[in-house]
Amino acid sequence: MNKLISSILSALFHPLLLPSYLFYVVCYQVPQSILTPSLPSRWLVLGVVFVFTFVLPALGTGVLYWFGQLDSLLLRERAQRPLPLLLAALSFGMAATVLTQHALFDALLGQMMVGMALAVLLTFLISLSWKISAHGVGVGGAAGLLLLLYLSGPPGSALLGWLLGTVLLAGAVLSARLALDAHTPAQAWAGLGLGAGVVLGIGLSVKF
């Protein structure tokens, strides 16, 4: 894959942006998936998710870089990843607390965020000794979530298109990470498996 295209894909589908994309799909593309909040108020959901899963972790990483704790914002080296991932795990955890504790938000929204927070926490723990692909974790979790929603939704749901598109996207993102020499195939596939496994595990345990 072309290096420029690989870089664009890696940036557009950064792990910190995927939660906002997923919550947008659930809130607006398949609005029947949740009951609350009502459609006009769902911008609140996206606001909470964007602030806690992108803005705060990105700012935290920027502060670490500013104070010389990181050599690069790209975090290519494994040793550079634990602190930003820890900050992200804490911020994702705060988002999960907001979405699960406030009566305004449908239970599915909280369950989604809990799964994402757990996936980030596990990515942090693994990154203490091995460079697992965070991009892989993100796209794996996205595919797993949409698969669960599709299987539990009504026949003919628009989610099928989103699911198939996400599976293709996962392949493209993993290929991009390999083309950029950011990960080995094992690290990329392990990330994909971790993300999908966490989401499917939580989804099945909640359902059954």
Segments in the chain forming alpha helices (H): 3-12, 18-24, 43-50, 56-66, 82-101, 107-127, 134-152, 159-179, 185-207
pTM summary value: 0.93
- Sign (positive/negative) of CA torsion 167, 43, 194, 183? positive
Rounded distance, CA 162 to CA 63, Å? 35
Mean pLDDT for the chain? Answer: 92
- In single-letter form, the type of residue at position 72 comes to S
pLDDT 10s digits, 47-101: 999 999 999 999 999 999 998 888 888 888 888 999 999 999 999 999 999 999 9
Q: Which long-range contacts (CB under 8 A, 24 or more apart) does 33-39 make?
A: 33/108, 33/149, 33/153, 34/106, 34/108, 34/109, 35/106, 36/104, 36/105, 36/106, 37/104, 37/105, 37/106
- Count other Cβ atoms within 10 Å, centred on residue 198: 24
Q: Which one of 68-72, 153-157, 181-185 scores highest in mean pLDDT?
A: 181-185
**Residue 100: predicted pLDDT:** 94
**Residue 68: predicted pLDDT:** 87
**Residue 208: predicted pLDDT:** 41
Confidence category of residue 175, pLDDT binned at 50, 70, 90: very high
Confidence category of residue 1, pLDDT binned at 50, 70, 90: confident
**Residue 6: predicted pLDDT:** 93
